Chains A and B, each alone.
Chain A
Amino acid sequence: MSAAPIDLQREVERFVYREGYLQDRHEYDAWEALWTDDGVYWIPANGDEIDPEREMSIVYDNRSRIALRIRQLHTGRRLAQTPRSNLLRVVSNVEVINAAADEIEVRANAIIFESTPRRDTLWGTRYEYLLRRVDGTLRMARKKVMLVNNAKALPTLAFLI
Protein backbone atom coordinates (compact mmCIF):
# COMPACT_ATOMS: atom_id res chain seq x y z
CA MET A 1 0.00 0.00 0.00
CA SER A 2 1.05 3.58 -0.34
CA ALA A 3 2.56 5.39 2.61
CA ALA A 4 0.18 6.42 5.37
CA PRO A 5 -0.86 10.05 5.44
CA ILE A 6 1.56 12.09 7.52
CA ASP A 7 -0.99 12.98 10.21
CA LEU A 8 -1.88 9.33 10.74
CA GLN A 9 1.80 8.39 10.88
CA ARG A 10 2.38 11.13 13.47
CA GLU A 11 -0.64 10.13 15.51
CA VAL A 12 0.47 6.50 15.57
CA GLU A 13 4.04 7.40 16.51
CA ARG A 14 2.78 9.61 19.31
CA PHE A 15 0.71 6.68 20.58
CA VAL A 16 3.52 4.11 20.62
CA TYR A 17 5.98 6.56 22.20
CA ARG A 18 3.45 7.38 24.88
CA GLU A 19 2.84 3.70 25.51
CA GLY A 20 6.57 3.08 25.86
CA TYR A 21 6.94 6.00 28.23
CA LEU A 22 4.15 4.69 30.46
CA GLN A 23 5.77 1.27 30.52
CA ASP A 24 9.21 2.63 31.35
CA ARG A 25 7.74 4.70 34.17
CA HIS A 26 5.57 1.88 35.55
CA GLU A 27 2.44 4.01 35.10
CA TYR A 28 0.29 0.92 35.33
CA ASP A 29 -3.17 2.47 35.33
CA ALA A 30 -2.49 4.84 32.49
CA TRP A 31 -1.04 1.95 30.51
CA GLU A 32 -4.01 -0.27 31.23
CA ALA A 33 -6.32 2.50 30.06
CA LEU A 34 -4.76 2.27 26.60
CA TRP A 35 -6.41 -1.12 26.02
CA THR A 36 -9.76 -1.76 24.40
CA ASP A 37 -12.20 -3.99 26.29
CA ASP A 38 -11.22 -6.95 24.12
CA GLY A 39 -7.46 -6.27 24.20
CA VAL A 40 -4.95 -9.13 23.83
CA TYR A 41 -1.34 -8.81 25.01
CA TRP A 42 0.76 -11.53 23.42
CA ILE A 43 4.46 -12.46 23.79
CA PRO A 44 5.07 -15.66 21.81
CA ALA A 45 7.79 -18.19 22.62
CA ASN A 46 9.71 -20.46 20.26
CA GLY A 47 9.26 -18.25 17.21
CA ASP A 48 6.85 -15.52 16.16
CA GLU A 49 4.26 -17.54 14.27
CA ILE A 50 3.12 -20.14 16.79
CA ASP A 51 -0.57 -20.77 17.45
CA PRO A 52 -1.18 -19.29 20.91
CA GLU A 53 -4.37 -21.31 21.25
CA ARG A 54 -2.34 -24.51 21.01
CA GLU A 55 1.21 -23.68 22.13
CA MET A 56 2.81 -22.02 25.10
CA SER A 57 3.48 -18.29 24.95
CA ILE A 58 5.43 -16.20 27.46
CA VAL A 59 2.34 -14.01 27.82
CA TYR A 60 -1.05 -14.50 26.22
CA ASP A 61 -3.29 -12.25 28.27
CA ASN A 62 -6.89 -11.48 27.49
CA ARG A 63 -8.28 -8.25 28.88
CA SER A 64 -9.14 -9.67 32.28
CA ARG A 65 -5.69 -11.18 32.71
CA ILE A 66 -4.08 -7.88 31.74
CA ALA A 67 -6.10 -6.36 34.59
CA LEU A 68 -5.00 -9.14 36.93
CA ARG A 69 -1.34 -8.59 36.01
CA ILE A 70 -1.75 -4.89 36.80
CA ARG A 71 -3.53 -5.58 40.09
CA GLN A 72 -0.67 -7.87 41.11
CA LEU A 73 1.89 -5.16 40.32
CA HIS A 74 -0.15 -2.69 42.36
CA THR A 75 0.08 -4.84 45.51
CA GLY A 76 3.71 -3.82 45.89
CA ARG A 77 4.45 -7.46 46.75
CA ARG A 78 5.15 -8.71 43.23
CA LEU A 79 8.64 -9.80 44.28
CA ALA A 80 10.00 -9.91 40.73
CA GLN A 81 9.23 -6.17 40.51
CA THR A 82 10.33 -5.26 44.02
CA PRO A 83 12.21 -3.08 43.39
CA ARG A 84 10.83 -2.16 40.00
CA SER A 85 13.11 -2.62 37.01
CA ASN A 86 14.86 0.51 35.91
CA LEU A 87 13.88 0.79 32.25
CA LEU A 88 14.87 2.77 29.22
CA ARG A 89 13.58 1.99 25.78
CA VAL A 90 14.05 3.30 22.32
CA VAL A 91 11.07 2.65 20.05
CA SER A 92 11.66 3.19 16.39
CA ASN A 93 10.91 2.07 12.82
CA VAL A 94 7.24 2.81 13.33
CA GLU A 95 5.28 1.89 10.22
CA VAL A 96 1.59 1.91 9.46
CA ILE A 97 0.97 -1.36 7.64
CA ASN A 98 -2.71 -1.10 7.06
CA ALA A 99 -5.31 1.50 7.88
CA ALA A 100 -8.94 0.53 7.57
CA ALA A 101 -11.81 2.71 8.77
CA ASP A 102 -11.26 2.34 12.50
CA GLU A 103 -8.44 -0.16 12.75
CA ILE A 104 -4.78 0.47 12.10
CA GLU A 105 -2.08 -2.16 11.89
CA VAL A 106 1.30 -0.91 13.01
CA ARG A 107 4.73 -2.39 13.34
CA ALA A 108 7.71 -1.01 15.23
CA ASN A 109 11.00 -2.07 16.80
CA ALA A 110 12.23 -1.55 20.32
CA ILE A 111 15.47 -1.91 22.23
CA ILE A 112 14.85 -1.96 25.97
CA PHE A 113 17.53 -1.70 28.61
CA GLU A 114 16.47 -3.23 31.91
CA SER A 115 18.49 -2.80 35.07
CA THR A 116 17.67 -4.82 38.19
CA PRO A 117 19.66 -5.37 41.39
CA ARG A 118 21.32 -8.49 39.99
CA ARG A 119 21.62 -7.90 36.26
CA ASP A 120 21.38 -5.60 33.30
CA THR A 121 19.48 -7.06 30.36
CA LEU A 122 19.10 -5.82 26.82
CA TRP A 123 15.82 -6.87 25.26
CA GLY A 124 15.32 -6.55 21.50
CA THR A 125 11.85 -6.89 20.06
CA ARG A 126 9.60 -6.31 17.12
CA TYR A 127 6.11 -5.06 17.91
CA GLU A 128 2.88 -5.53 16.04
CA TYR A 129 -0.07 -3.43 17.14
CA LEU A 130 -3.67 -3.46 16.19
CA LEU A 131 -4.90 0.00 17.13
CA ARG A 132 -8.55 0.93 17.14
CA ARG A 133 -10.17 4.34 17.24
CA VAL A 134 -12.57 4.46 20.17
CA ASP A 135 -14.47 7.71 20.70
CA GLY A 136 -11.90 9.52 18.63
CA THR A 137 -8.77 8.26 20.43
CA LEU A 138 -6.47 5.35 19.62
CA ARG A 139 -6.55 2.25 21.80
CA MET A 140 -4.66 -1.03 21.68
CA ALA A 141 -6.79 -4.00 20.64
CA ARG A 142 -3.76 -6.21 20.28
CA LYS A 143 -0.06 -5.96 20.98
CA LYS A 144 2.28 -8.70 19.89
CA VAL A 145 5.81 -8.59 21.29
CA MET A 146 8.22 -10.66 19.22
CA LEU A 147 11.43 -10.96 21.22
CA VAL A 148 14.30 -11.76 18.89
CA ASN A 149 15.56 -14.42 21.33
CA ASN A 150 12.21 -15.95 22.23
CA ALA A 151 13.32 -19.47 21.27
CA LYS A 152 16.00 -19.48 23.97
CA ALA A 153 15.96 -19.61 27.74
CA LEU A 154 15.14 -16.13 29.05
CA PRO A 155 15.55 -14.51 32.44
CA THR A 156 12.53 -13.23 34.32
CA LEU A 157 10.50 -10.68 32.39
CA ALA A 158 8.19 -9.18 34.96
CA PHE A 159 7.95 -5.59 33.69
CA LEU A 160 5.54 -4.42 30.99
CA ILE A 161 7.28 -4.79 27.65
Chain B
Amino acid sequence: METTVTTTTHPWSRLLHADGVHGSVYVDRAVYAEELRRIWRRTWVYVGHESEVPRRHDFVMKFLGPEPVIMSRDADGRVRLLLNRCSHRGNQVCTKPRGNSAVFTCPYHAWSFGSDGRLKHMSLPDGFPGVDRSKLGLAEVTRVASHRGFVFGSFAADGPSLAEHLGGAAEVFDRLVALSPENEVEITAGFLQHKVAANWKLLLENETDGYHPTFVHSSIFGVAQSGIGQLYSRNSAALSRDYGNGHTECDLRPQFRKLDVPLGWFGTTEERLPDYVRDMRAAYGEQRAREILIDGTPHAMIFPNLFIAEIQLFVLQPVSVAETVQHVTALQFKGAPALNRRMRQQTMGSVGPAGLLLADDSEIYERTHQGLAASGPEFTFIGRGAHREREDEAGYRIGDITDDLPSRGIWRHYRSIMESEL
Protein backbone atom coordinates (compact mmCIF):
# COMPACT_ATOMS: atom_id res chain seq x y z
CA MET B 1 0.00 0.00 0.00
CA GLU B 2 1.22 3.44 -0.80
CA THR B 3 1.54 5.91 2.00
CA THR B 4 0.90 9.53 1.35
CA VAL B 5 2.61 12.00 3.61
CA THR B 6 0.51 15.10 3.82
CA THR B 7 2.00 18.26 5.24
CA THR B 8 -0.61 20.39 6.84
CA THR B 9 0.01 24.08 6.46
CA HIS B 10 -1.57 26.26 9.09
CA PRO B 11 -3.89 28.91 7.85
CA TRP B 12 -1.94 31.63 9.66
CA SER B 13 -4.02 34.48 8.35
CA ARG B 14 -7.00 32.95 10.09
CA LEU B 15 -5.10 32.51 13.38
CA LEU B 16 -3.21 35.79 13.54
CA HIS B 17 -5.18 39.00 13.24
CA ALA B 18 -3.72 42.48 13.47
CA ASP B 19 -5.34 42.98 16.87
CA GLY B 20 -5.62 39.47 18.24
CA VAL B 21 -4.27 35.94 18.29
CA HIS B 22 -6.21 32.70 18.14
CA GLY B 23 -5.95 30.81 21.45
CA SER B 24 -4.73 27.67 19.72
CA VAL B 25 -1.51 29.40 18.71
CA TYR B 26 -0.45 29.15 22.37
CA VAL B 27 -1.72 25.69 23.22
CA ASP B 28 -1.69 23.58 20.04
CA ARG B 29 1.11 21.01 19.80
CA ALA B 30 1.12 21.22 16.01
CA VAL B 31 1.83 24.93 16.21
CA TYR B 32 4.68 24.26 18.64
CA ALA B 33 6.17 21.65 16.30
CA GLU B 34 6.08 24.18 13.50
CA GLU B 35 7.79 26.76 15.73
CA LEU B 36 10.60 24.33 16.47
CA ARG B 37 11.19 24.01 12.74
CA ARG B 38 10.80 27.64 11.76
CA ILE B 39 11.97 29.58 14.80
CA TRP B 40 14.13 27.54 17.14
CA ARG B 41 15.95 25.59 14.44
CA ARG B 42 16.35 28.46 11.96
CA THR B 43 16.50 31.95 13.37
CA TRP B 44 19.20 33.46 15.59
CA VAL B 45 18.70 32.31 19.17
CA TYR B 46 20.62 33.62 22.18
CA VAL B 47 22.76 30.95 23.85
CA GLY B 48 25.22 32.49 26.33
CA HIS B 49 27.78 35.18 27.01
CA GLU B 50 31.48 35.04 26.22
CA SER B 51 32.33 35.94 29.82
CA GLU B 52 30.87 32.60 30.94
CA VAL B 53 33.81 30.83 29.30
CA PRO B 54 36.66 33.29 29.92
CA ARG B 55 39.63 30.90 29.62
CA ARG B 56 40.70 28.41 26.97
CA HIS B 57 38.91 25.04 27.40
CA ASP B 58 36.22 26.54 29.66
CA PHE B 59 32.81 25.11 28.93
CA VAL B 60 29.25 25.61 30.16
CA MET B 61 26.10 23.69 29.32
CA LYS B 62 23.54 25.85 27.56
CA PHE B 63 20.45 25.49 25.42
CA LEU B 64 19.63 26.62 21.94
CA GLY B 65 15.90 26.65 22.36
CA PRO B 66 14.93 23.19 23.56
CA GLU B 67 18.24 21.63 22.51
CA PRO B 68 21.20 21.28 24.92
CA VAL B 69 24.50 22.66 23.62
CA ILE B 70 27.98 22.88 25.09
CA MET B 71 29.38 26.41 24.87
CA SER B 72 33.12 25.85 24.80
CA ARG B 73 36.16 28.04 24.27
CA ASP B 74 38.69 26.14 22.18
CA ALA B 75 42.50 26.26 22.28
CA ASP B 76 42.51 29.19 19.89
CA GLY B 77 40.13 31.18 22.07
CA ARG B 78 37.15 30.79 19.76
CA VAL B 79 33.72 30.20 21.29
CA ARG B 80 32.08 27.05 19.91
CA LEU B 81 28.55 25.72 20.25
CA LEU B 82 28.83 21.92 20.26
CA LEU B 83 25.98 19.46 20.34
CA ASN B 84 26.10 17.08 23.26
CA ARG B 85 26.01 13.83 21.34
CA CYS B 86 28.89 11.40 20.76
CA SER B 87 29.42 10.80 17.05
CA HIS B 88 29.73 7.08 17.76
CA ARG B 89 26.46 5.89 19.29
CA GLY B 90 24.90 9.14 20.45
CA ASN B 91 25.62 9.14 24.18
CA GLN B 92 25.97 12.54 25.85
CA VAL B 93 29.65 13.45 26.12
CA CYS B 94 29.21 16.09 28.82
CA THR B 95 27.16 15.82 32.01
CA LYS B 96 28.71 18.61 34.07
CA PRO B 97 27.03 22.01 34.15
CA ARG B 98 30.37 23.79 33.67
CA GLY B 99 34.09 23.27 33.94
CA ASN B 100 37.44 23.48 32.22
CA SER B 101 38.59 20.59 30.11
CA ALA B 102 40.62 20.24 26.92
CA VAL B 103 38.86 16.94 26.26
CA PHE B 104 35.32 15.57 26.45
CA THR B 105 35.50 11.81 26.87
CA CYS B 106 32.39 9.80 26.18
CA PRO B 107 31.96 7.30 29.02
CA TYR B 108 30.29 4.72 26.77
CA HIS B 109 33.21 3.58 24.57
CA ALA B 110 35.84 6.17 25.55
CA TRP B 111 35.94 8.22 22.38
CA SER B 112 37.29 11.65 23.16
CA PHE B 113 36.75 15.06 21.59
CA GLY B 114 38.66 18.33 21.87
CA SER B 115 37.23 21.60 23.16
CA ASP B 116 36.79 22.46 19.47
CA GLY B 117 34.64 19.35 18.99
CA ARG B 118 37.17 17.46 16.86
CA LEU B 119 37.52 13.72 17.43
CA LYS B 120 40.84 13.19 19.20
CA HIS B 121 40.86 9.53 20.16
CA MET B 122 38.98 6.31 19.45
CA SER B 123 39.59 3.50 21.91
CA LEU B 124 40.90 0.15 20.55
CA PRO B 125 41.83 1.85 17.26
CA ASP B 126 42.67 -1.42 15.48
CA GLY B 127 39.00 -1.77 14.69
CA PHE B 128 38.89 1.44 12.65
CA PRO B 129 41.33 1.02 9.75
CA GLY B 130 40.91 3.78 7.19
CA VAL B 131 38.14 5.55 9.10
CA ASP B 132 38.25 9.30 8.47
CA ARG B 133 38.34 10.85 11.95
CA SER B 134 37.89 14.35 10.62
CA LYS B 135 34.28 13.45 9.76
CA LEU B 136 33.51 12.15 13.26
CA GLY B 137 33.70 15.27 15.38
CA LEU B 138 30.86 16.58 17.53
CA ALA B 139 28.22 18.40 15.55
CA GLU B 140 28.27 22.17 15.86
CA VAL B 141 25.56 24.79 15.66
CA THR B 142 25.72 25.85 12.03
CA ARG B 143 26.32 29.54 12.55
CA VAL B 144 27.67 31.27 15.66
CA ALA B 145 28.01 35.03 16.03
CA SER B 146 28.19 37.50 18.88
CA HIS B 147 27.43 41.12 19.61
CA ARG B 148 28.97 42.85 22.65
CA GLY B 149 29.89 39.39 24.00
CA PHE B 150 26.34 37.99 23.64
CA VAL B 151 26.63 34.73 21.70
CA PHE B 152 23.85 33.65 19.36
CA GLY B 153 23.49 30.50 17.29
CA SER B 154 21.47 29.56 14.24
CA PHE B 155 20.93 26.14 12.72
CA ALA B 156 20.28 27.70 9.31
CA ALA B 157 23.23 27.56 6.94
CA ASP B 158 22.19 30.82 5.38
CA GLY B 159 19.77 33.62 6.02
CA PRO B 160 20.12 37.01 7.66
CA SER B 161 23.35 37.73 9.54
CA LEU B 162 23.14 38.35 13.28
CA ALA B 163 23.57 42.08 12.61
CA GLU B 164 20.67 41.97 10.16
CA HIS B 165 18.57 39.98 12.62
CA LEU B 166 19.21 42.41 15.50
CA GLY B 167 18.76 45.43 13.26
CA GLY B 168 18.08 48.55 15.29
CA ALA B 169 17.85 46.51 18.49
CA ALA B 170 21.65 46.15 18.40
CA GLU B 171 21.77 49.55 20.09
CA VAL B 172 20.07 48.03 23.14
CA PHE B 173 23.27 46.09 23.80
CA ASP B 174 25.40 49.17 23.21
CA ARG B 175 23.32 51.12 25.74
CA LEU B 176 23.57 48.24 28.19
CA VAL B 177 27.36 47.87 28.18
CA ALA B 178 27.72 51.65 28.55
CA LEU B 179 26.78 51.23 32.22
CA SER B 180 30.20 49.62 32.70
CA PRO B 181 33.18 51.96 32.98
CA GLU B 182 34.95 49.37 30.83
CA ASN B 183 32.04 49.13 28.37
CA GLU B 184 31.55 45.41 29.04
CA VAL B 185 28.95 43.20 30.65
CA GLU B 186 29.88 40.01 32.50
CA ILE B 187 27.67 37.05 33.32
CA THR B 188 29.29 35.60 36.43
CA ALA B 189 26.62 35.25 39.12
CA GLY B 190 25.11 31.88 38.13
CA PHE B 191 21.54 31.28 36.97
CA LEU B 192 18.27 30.59 38.73
CA GLN B 193 16.02 28.23 36.80
CA HIS B 194 12.30 28.77 37.17
CA LYS B 195 9.89 26.55 35.29
CA VAL B 196 6.36 27.45 34.41
CA ALA B 197 3.55 25.39 32.93
CA ALA B 198 2.92 27.84 30.12
CA ASN B 199 3.69 28.42 26.48
CA TRP B 200 6.91 30.36 25.85
CA LYS B 201 5.13 33.09 23.88
CA LEU B 202 3.19 34.21 26.96
CA LEU B 203 6.55 35.06 28.53
CA LEU B 204 7.86 36.61 25.32
CA GLU B 205 4.92 39.00 25.21
CA ASN B 206 4.81 39.77 28.92
CA GLU B 207 8.44 40.91 29.09
CA THR B 208 7.63 44.17 27.32
CA ASP B 209 4.01 44.45 28.39
CA GLY B 210 3.89 47.75 30.23
CA TYR B 211 0.19 47.42 31.01
CA HIS B 212 0.41 44.62 33.62
CA PRO B 213 2.90 45.82 36.29
CA THR B 214 0.37 48.14 37.95
CA PHE B 215 -1.94 45.20 38.53
CA VAL B 216 0.15 42.02 38.77
CA HIS B 217 2.78 43.67 40.97
CA SER B 218 0.58 45.89 43.09
CA SER B 219 1.27 43.67 46.11
CA ILE B 220 4.98 44.49 46.09
CA PHE B 221 4.87 48.06 44.77
CA GLY B 222 2.53 48.97 47.59
CA VAL B 223 4.72 47.65 50.40
CA ALA B 224 8.18 48.34 48.97
CA GLN B 225 7.82 52.08 48.31
CA SER B 226 9.00 51.24 44.82
CA GLY B 227 9.07 53.86 42.08
CA ILE B 228 8.40 51.22 39.43
CA GLY B 229 4.64 51.68 39.64
CA GLN B 230 4.94 55.29 38.50
CA LEU B 231 6.98 54.23 35.45
CA TYR B 232 4.11 52.15 34.15
CA SER B 233 1.34 54.55 35.05
CA ARG B 234 -0.85 56.36 32.57
CA ASN B 235 1.06 59.58 33.12
CA SER B 236 4.50 58.08 32.54
CA ALA B 237 6.61 59.54 29.74
CA ALA B 238 8.08 56.07 29.10
CA LEU B 239 7.43 54.51 25.68
CA SER B 240 6.91 51.14 24.11
CA ARG B 241 8.89 50.43 20.93
CA ASP B 242 8.85 47.86 18.14
CA TYR B 243 12.29 47.49 16.57
CA GLY B 244 11.03 45.04 13.96
CA ASN B 245 12.14 41.39 13.63
CA GLY B 246 10.16 40.69 16.81
CA HIS B 247 12.42 42.80 19.07
CA THR B 248 10.54 45.08 21.44
CA GLU B 249 11.32 47.52 24.19
CA CYS B 250 9.91 49.38 27.15
CA ASP B 251 11.92 52.57 26.75
CA LEU B 252 11.98 54.07 30.22
CA ARG B 253 14.47 56.83 29.38
CA PRO B 254 11.92 59.58 28.73
CA GLN B 255 10.59 59.20 32.27
CA PHE B 256 14.07 59.00 33.82
CA ARG B 257 15.14 62.08 31.87
CA LYS B 258 12.13 63.91 33.23
CA LEU B 259 13.20 62.99 36.76
CA ASP B 260 16.80 63.95 35.85
CA VAL B 261 18.47 62.08 38.73
CA PRO B 262 21.64 60.07 38.01
CA LEU B 263 21.09 56.47 39.22
CA GLY B 264 17.43 57.28 39.86
CA TRP B 265 16.56 54.30 37.60
CA PHE B 266 18.14 52.06 40.23
CA GLY B 267 16.48 53.80 43.16
CA THR B 268 19.77 55.07 44.49
CA THR B 269 22.01 58.13 44.34
CA GLU B 270 25.52 59.03 43.21
CA GLU B 271 26.53 59.54 46.85
CA ARG B 272 25.88 55.89 47.61
CA LEU B 273 28.12 54.61 44.80
CA PRO B 274 31.01 57.11 44.81
CA ASP B 275 33.67 54.82 43.30
CA TYR B 276 31.41 53.75 40.48
CA VAL B 277 30.44 57.32 39.62
CA ARG B 278 34.09 58.40 39.71
CA ASP B 279 35.07 55.57 37.33
CA MET B 280 32.18 56.31 34.98
CA ARG B 281 33.21 59.98 34.77
CA ALA B 282 36.81 58.99 34.14
CA ALA B 283 35.71 56.61 31.38
CA TYR B 284 33.12 58.74 29.58
CA GLY B 285 33.64 62.33 30.73
CA GLU B 286 31.38 64.22 33.12
CA GLN B 287 28.58 65.04 30.69
CA ARG B 288 28.28 61.67 28.96
CA ALA B 289 28.55 59.80 32.27
CA ARG B 290 25.69 61.87 33.63
CA GLU B 291 23.53 61.01 30.62
CA ILE B 292 24.29 57.30 30.94
CA LEU B 293 23.53 57.32 34.66
CA ILE B 294 20.22 59.12 34.11
CA ASP B 295 19.10 56.86 31.25
CA GLY B 296 19.84 53.61 33.10
CA THR B 297 19.82 50.14 31.59
CA PRO B 298 17.49 48.98 28.82
CA HIS B 299 14.35 46.88 29.17
CA ALA B 300 14.13 44.98 25.91
CA MET B 301 13.05 41.61 24.57
CA ILE B 302 15.24 40.21 21.82
CA PHE B 303 13.19 37.73 19.80
CA PRO B 304 12.78 34.90 20.54
CA ASN B 305 14.47 34.26 23.89
CA LEU B 306 16.70 36.97 25.37
CA PHE B 307 15.19 39.44 27.81
CA ILE B 308 17.46 42.25 28.96
CA ALA B 309 15.54 43.29 32.03
CA GLU B 310 17.38 46.38 33.29
CA ILE B 311 19.35 44.77 36.12
CA GLN B 312 19.01 41.15 35.06
CA LEU B 313 19.03 38.90 32.07
CA PHE B 314 16.49 36.20 31.29
CA VAL B 315 16.88 33.41 28.78
CA LEU B 316 13.61 31.71 27.81
CA GLN B 317 13.88 28.01 27.09
CA PRO B 318 10.86 26.29 25.60
CA VAL B 319 10.55 22.72 26.87
CA SER B 320 7.21 21.79 25.34
CA VAL B 321 4.11 23.57 24.12
CA ALA B 322 3.04 23.95 27.76
CA GLU B 323 6.34 24.27 29.63
CA THR B 324 9.01 26.96 29.65
CA VAL B 325 12.09 27.45 31.81
CA GLN B 326 13.24 30.96 32.66
CA HIS B 327 16.99 31.11 33.26
CA VAL B 328 17.79 34.33 35.07
CA THR B 329 20.85 36.03 36.47
CA ALA B 330 21.98 39.47 37.60
CA LEU B 331 23.75 41.49 34.96
CA GLN B 332 27.23 42.44 36.09
CA PHE B 333 29.14 45.43 34.75
CA LYS B 334 32.88 45.04 34.37
CA GLY B 335 34.71 47.39 36.70
CA ALA B 336 31.67 48.18 38.87
CA PRO B 337 31.84 45.92 41.98
CA ALA B 338 29.72 48.10 44.26
CA LEU B 339 26.94 48.42 41.68
CA ASN B 340 27.16 44.71 40.88
CA ARG B 341 26.64 43.74 44.50
CA ARG B 342 23.41 45.73 44.59
CA MET B 343 22.35 44.27 41.25
CA ARG B 344 22.73 40.76 42.65
CA GLN B 345 20.84 41.59 45.84
CA GLN B 346 17.98 43.20 43.97
CA THR B 347 17.83 40.42 41.38
CA MET B 348 17.65 37.71 44.04
CA GLY B 349 14.75 39.51 45.67
CA SER B 350 12.82 40.03 42.45
CA VAL B 351 13.16 36.94 40.29
CA GLY B 352 13.35 33.16 40.32
CA PRO B 353 10.91 30.69 41.92
CA ALA B 354 10.51 32.77 45.09
CA GLY B 355 10.93 36.20 43.50
CA LEU B 356 8.77 39.00 44.83
CA LEU B 357 7.95 39.93 41.23
CA LEU B 358 8.46 36.87 39.02
CA ALA B 359 6.52 34.38 41.09
CA ASP B 360 3.45 36.50 40.38
CA ASP B 361 4.20 36.88 36.66
CA SER B 362 4.62 33.12 36.52
CA GLU B 363 1.29 32.59 38.22
CA ILE B 364 -0.31 34.67 35.47
CA TYR B 365 1.56 32.75 32.74
CA GLU B 366 0.16 29.47 34.01
CA ARG B 367 -3.38 30.73 34.54
CA THR B 368 -3.37 32.36 31.12
CA HIS B 369 -2.17 29.17 29.47
CA GLN B 370 -5.10 27.34 31.04
CA GLY B 371 -7.47 30.16 30.18
CA LEU B 372 -6.46 30.07 26.52
CA ALA B 373 -7.37 26.41 26.35
CA ALA B 374 -11.01 27.42 26.83
CA SER B 375 -12.86 27.44 23.55
CA GLY B 376 -13.98 31.05 23.53
CA PRO B 377 -13.62 33.82 22.77
CA GLU B 378 -11.47 32.51 19.95
CA PHE B 379 -9.08 35.47 19.83
CA THR B 380 -7.15 37.56 22.33
CA PHE B 381 -7.45 41.31 21.95
CA ILE B 382 -4.21 43.27 21.64
CA GLY B 383 -5.52 46.49 20.20
CA ARG B 384 -4.72 48.79 23.11
CA GLY B 385 -3.18 52.03 21.84
CA ALA B 386 -3.47 51.14 18.14
CA HIS B 387 -4.94 54.61 17.55
CA ARG B 388 -1.86 56.35 18.96
CA GLU B 389 0.92 54.34 17.32
CA ARG B 390 3.54 56.70 15.94
CA GLU B 391 7.12 56.63 14.73
CA ASP B 392 10.25 57.75 16.51
CA GLU B 393 13.07 59.66 14.80
CA ALA B 394 14.61 56.42 13.58
CA GLY B 395 11.32 55.27 12.06
CA TYR B 396 10.49 52.57 14.63
CA ARG B 397 6.91 52.22 15.82
CA ILE B 398 6.40 53.61 19.32
CA GLY B 399 3.45 53.89 21.63
CA ASP B 400 2.58 54.73 25.21
CA ILE B 401 4.20 52.47 27.80
CA THR B 402 0.91 50.72 28.61
CA ASP B 403 0.03 49.98 24.97
CA ASP B 404 -0.10 46.58 23.30
CA LEU B 405 2.30 47.80 20.62
CA PRO B 406 5.12 45.36 21.56
CA SER B 407 2.76 42.37 21.25
CA ARG B 408 1.55 43.57 17.87
CA GLY B 409 5.18 43.83 16.73
CA ILE B 410 6.01 40.36 17.99
CA TRP B 411 3.05 38.82 16.17
CA ARG B 412 3.76 40.69 12.96
CA HIS B 413 7.24 39.16 12.92
CA TYR B 414 5.96 35.75 14.03
CA ARG B 415 3.51 35.68 11.16
CA SER B 416 6.20 36.58 8.64
CA ILE B 417 8.33 33.67 9.89
CA MET B 418 5.49 31.19 9.88
CA GLU B 419 4.36 32.18 6.40
CA SER B 420 7.82 32.38 4.83
CA GLU B 421 9.14 29.80 2.37
CA LEU B 422 11.48 27.29 4.03
Q: Which residues of A are in contact with B by a Cβ distance under 8 Å?
A: 43, 45-46, 50, 53-61, 65, 68-69, 71-72, 74-80, 82, 118-119, 151-158
A59 interface neighbour in B224, B330, B348, Cβ under 8 Å: B348
Given contacts A55-B190, A79-B359, A157-B353, 7 further A-B contacts (CB under 8 A): A46-B190, A56-B189, A56-B191, A61-B349, A65-B349, A72-B356, A151-B97
Cβ contacts under 8 Å, A77 to chain B: 218-219, 222
Residue B347 is within 8 A (CB to CB) of chain A in the complex: yes
Task: Report A-chain residues with C-beta under 8 Å of the C-beta of B188.
Answer: 54
Q: Report how far A120 CA is from B202 CA in the complex, Å.
A: 23
A58 vs B359: C-alpha distance in the bound complex, in angstroms?
A: 11
Decide if A79 touches B356 in the complex (CB within 8 Å): no
Cβ of A118 and Cβ of B366 under 8 Å apart?
A: yes
B219 partner, pick from A65, A78, A153, beta carbons under 8 A = A78
| The residue from A55, A82, A118, A152 contacting B193, defined by CB atoms under 8 A apart | A152
Q: Is B47 an interface residue (CB 8 A)?
A: no
Closest to A61 in B: B349
In the docked arrangement, what's the CA distance between A151 and B360, Å?
Answer: 22
Of the four ranges (under 10, 10 to 19, 20 to 34, 35 or more), the interface on chain B belongs to 35 or more
> Are A68 and B196 in touch, CB under 8 angstroms?
no
B348 and A158 form a contact (CB under 8 A): no
**In this assembly, does B25 line the interface, its C-beta being within 8 Å of a C-beta of chain A?**
no
Report the separation of the CA atoms of residues A60 and B194 in the bound assembly, to the nearest whole angstrom. 16
Q: Do A56 and B352 touch across chains, with their CB atoms under 8 A apart?
A: yes
Given A78-B219, A80-B360, A155 contacting B353 (CB threshold 8 A): yes
- Asked if B412 is an interface residue, CB under 8 A from chain A, the answer is no
Contact of B220 among A53, A57, A72, A118 (CB under 8 A): A72
CA distance A82 to B216 in the complex (A): 12
Smallest CB-CB separation from A80: which chain B residue?
B359
Are A156 and B356 in touch, CB under 8 angstroms?
A: no
Which one, A59, A79, A155, contacts B364 given CB within 8 A?
A79
Please measure, in the bound complex, the distance between the C-alpha atom of A148 and the C-alpha atom of B157, giving whole angstroms: 42
Task: State whether A154 touches B194 (Cβ < 8 A).
Answer: yes
A158 contacts which chain B residues (CB < 8 A)?
Answer: 353-354, 359, 363
Which A residues touch B220, using CB under 8 A? 68, 72, 78
Instruction: State the CA gap A153–B352 with chains docked (Å).
Output: 10
Complex-state Cα separation, A59 to B355, whole angstroms: 8
